[in-house]
Amino acid sequence: MPPLNPLYRPIQALDRPYGGPDRPNVRVRSRAALWRLATFVPAVLTTMGLIAAFTDWFAMGGLSVFECVVIALIAFTFFWIALSVSTASLGVATLLWLRRYPASESQDDVRGMSVALLIPIYNESPADVFGNAAAMIDALQDEPHRHHFSLFVLSDTRDEEIALQELRAFHALRATLPAGTGVFYRRRETNTDKKVGNLADWMENWGGSHEAMLVLDADSLMSGRAIVALADALSDDPSAGLIQSFPMLFGATTLFGRIQQFSNRIYGSALAEGLARWTDREGNYWGHNAIIRSSAFAACAGLPRVRLKNGEERLILSHDFIEAGLLRRAGWSVRFLPRIEGSYEEVPPTLIDYVLRDRRWCQGNLQHLRLLASRGFHTVSRFHLVSGAMGYLMSPAWLALLVVWALVGQGNDGNVFQYFEGFDPQVRWPEMSTFKGISMLTFMYAMLLAPKLMSAGAIHRVGIPLRDLGGARQFVLSVLAEIALSVAYAPVLMVQQSVAVLRTAAGISETWSPQARRGGVYGWPTLFKFHALETVLGALLLVGMGLGVVTLWLMPIVLSLVMAVPLSRLSGVNLSTRRWTARQLATPEMCNTPRIIRRAMAERRRFARLLATPERMAAE
């Protein structure tokens, strides 16, 4: 490591407003209020209209408490759907009619900064980590810029064998670089406070030597142009404390990985544009692929621990949202620039891997609800905290509606309550004619699919030619396949996220483990054990349909739940090994692979060969 140059990093108090001295003295004009009105007013009005329609529909014999709860659940879930549609609409409008971000006229206009690329790792594949690092260093050497970049691999690895491979890979990387290239490695003796503590340790010892830090994850990959663009943007905006890029997914080979990768690439751009427009300088931080002003972050974003009711202090889990709120509280802008191309990350390969990661994220995001009363947070920062939690609370709300519909959805002459108990819950469920049923389902599916279809329709404005998606025919087939598969997996994910919420409510701590990044197929016993709840729930609903007490309108959801095990097995199938599936759900990263990804894959293979045989290191 280089010589010590510490930054003072005081721990912040969430029950008192920020009182530190380091505030940017820069005023920036903003139209954020206009964009927020354009986004939230349609979402609120649409939700109010739906509430009025359902209230009128249920009020034939007066509204019972139970019916009011049902209407509240419908409103709760629908608002977030409507907000997604509004955000995507704003994003499409931005793509169609507004100009691109202005680029710097020349590098002479940019003030050079010292930027540290930080890669915190924990028991990851050394070949992949150092392969990505080598590719990024090479890309920066090819890109003209005025900045000085140094790369730090910050290890919290506990496995001694992996740690030894990290050290060997580091020395091998250093040996291939020109003398004086700033590449460093540090392994902590104890991984206190996990990733938060890892980055804090770097700031408190070496952060003073660098004006900015670009935080990466173990699976992050960024082109030289993307890294330089983030550094230029931070240098050009003295009010910015943090600038977040929009990471695209790459490297997916399994069916489930391809679904996520295609959705992110095709549908994500419009949503990201809309989000960037209305969040403006009150954006969010996703924990990686973002550049941060080191002095600002150290001065105002030191995370405290959360005190529980029993007096125990616990680490803030989803730290990134809170750190963004603390930066904004201190007067620094937090910006989101989705049009910076060349920012990448990898994706969980199977449904089970996705769910296991989601459980950890759920615990962290629900913890944010306890921090909503933090002093001095901007309203939009608080909304980010609520939105992150609602992403998980939506699932138990949907599940509750599913149960209600299953129990009383056949109308007053036939429902589960009356079939077994003769109990009348005072619900006057409206008669579900074929026309009404089709109309309701059509409206709900239209709202759910609108962001996807709008984004797909505006793909030409994102700068992606159809040939990079496999051609027009393949693109249409991919959109249809993604929609069908998403519909199939949605009920399974609904149940699993509901389980995650219940586990969090019960105080079950989720252990942190490295994300599985390789495709694979789990054995049938594991699959049956993992998806037992969905399978049993689906079977019960199917029996209810056979008895005539559960509405047939739930059949698509029931089939998905009953088929949870084979769907999960299918999620890990490797599409790249079969000729006819190799380009299904194609993205530009597959059809016209960017140079940085090709370079990273080659470097990963080189490091894997080097680490496989100890004698090779000396020879190379």
For residue 214, the 8-state DSSP code is E
Half-sphere exposure of 29 (CA within 13 A, CB side): 0
Which DSSP string corresponds to 339-381? T---EEE----SHHHHHHHHHHHHHHHHHGGGGTT-TT--HHH
Cα 294 from chain centroid?
24
Instruction: Give one DSSP letter per residue of 9-42, joined into a string.
Output: -PBPPTTS----S----------HHHHHHHHHHH
pLDDT value at residue 105? 47
d(CA 463, CA 96): 12
pLDDT reading at 99 higher than 70 = no
Which own/partner contact pairs does 27-30 have at CB distance under 8 Å and 24+ positions apart? 28/239, 28/281, 28/333, 30/280, 30/281
Start-to-end CA span in the chain (Å):
24
C-beta of residue 250 within 8 angstroms of C-beta of residue 597:
yes
In whole angstroms, give the CA distance from residue 520 to residue 506: 31
pLDDT of residue 510: 64
b/e per residue 424-435 (b: at least 16 CB within 10 A): ebebbbbebeee
The tokens for 468 are 């990079």
> Stretch 224-235: mean pLDDT, rounded?
96
Q: Give the residue-averaged pLDDT of 504-517.
A: 68
The pLDDT score that the predictor gives to residue 22 is: 62
Which helix (H) or strand (E) element contains residue 62?
none
> Residue 223 has which token pair?
């082109």
Checking if the pLDDT of 414 tops 70, the result is no
Neighbours of 32 (CB within 10 A): 14
β-bridge partners, 288 = none
| Tokens describing residue 457 | 């329709």
The pLDDT tens digits of the residues spanning 448-499 come to: 899 999 999 989 888 899 999 999 999 999 999 999 999 999 999 999 999 9
Sign of CA dihedral 172, 176, 177, 178: positive
Return all residues near 258 (Cβ < 8 A) that are at least 6 apart.
252, 575, 584, 585
Give the pLDDT score at 511.
62
* pLDDT given for residue 577 in this prediction: 79
Q: Is there a contact between 339 and 225 (Cβ–Cβ < 8 Å)? A: no
Write phi, then psi, for 218 (nearest 5 degrees). -60, -30
Residue 432 has pLDDT above 80, yes or no: no
For residues 330, 333, 336 and 341, what is the CA-based torsion angle, rounded to 10 degrees? -120
- Kindly tell me if the per-residue pLDDT of 601 is higher than 70: yes
Res 49 pLDDT > 60:
yes
Residue 515 pLDDT class (50, 70, 90 cuts): low
pLDDT tens by residue, 255-304: 999 999 999 999 999 999 999 999 999 999 999 999 999 999 999 999 99
User: What long-range pairs does 200-204 form, CB within 8 A, spacing at least 24?
Assistant: 200/9, 200/302, 201/154, 202/116, 202/118, 202/152, 202/154, 203/6, 203/7, 203/9, 203/294, 203/297, 203/298, 204/6, 204/7, 204/9, 204/298
Ranges assigned E (strand) in 37-173: 114-121, 148-155
pLDDT above 90 (res 12)? yes
pLDDT at 279: 95
Across all residues in the chain, what is the average pLDDT?
87
Interval 326-360: pLDDT, tens: 999 999 999 999 999 999 999 999 999 999 999 99
Residue with structure tokens 């992110």? 264
Does 316 score more than 50 pLDDT?
yes
What average pLDDT score do residues 1-28 get? 84
Percent of the chain residues topping a pLDDT of 70: 88
Residue 84, CB-side half-sphere exposure with 13 Å CA sphere: 20
Q: What is the Cα–Cα distance from 353 to 517, expressed in whole angstroms?
A: 9
Contact, 161 vs 193, CB < 8 A? no
State mean pLDDT over 180-195.
92
Helices then strands, each counted (H, E), the chain:
22, 12
What mean pLDDT do residues 586-595 have?
93
**618 has pLDDT over 50:** no
Give yes or no for a contact between 561 and 541, defined as CB atoms under 8 angstroms apart. Answer: yes
Rounded to 10 deg, the angle between the 564-571 and 472-505 helix axes is 120
Specify the pLDDT at position 401: 85
Structure tokens at 120: 């915190």
Burial 47-56 (b: 16+ CB within 10 A, else e): beebbeebee
Lookup result for tokens 């959801």? 557
Q: What is the pTM of this model?
A: 0.91
The position carrying tokens 């990079």 is 468
Evaluate if residue 429 carries a pLDDT over 60: no
pLDDT tier at 13, thresholds 50, 70, 90: very high
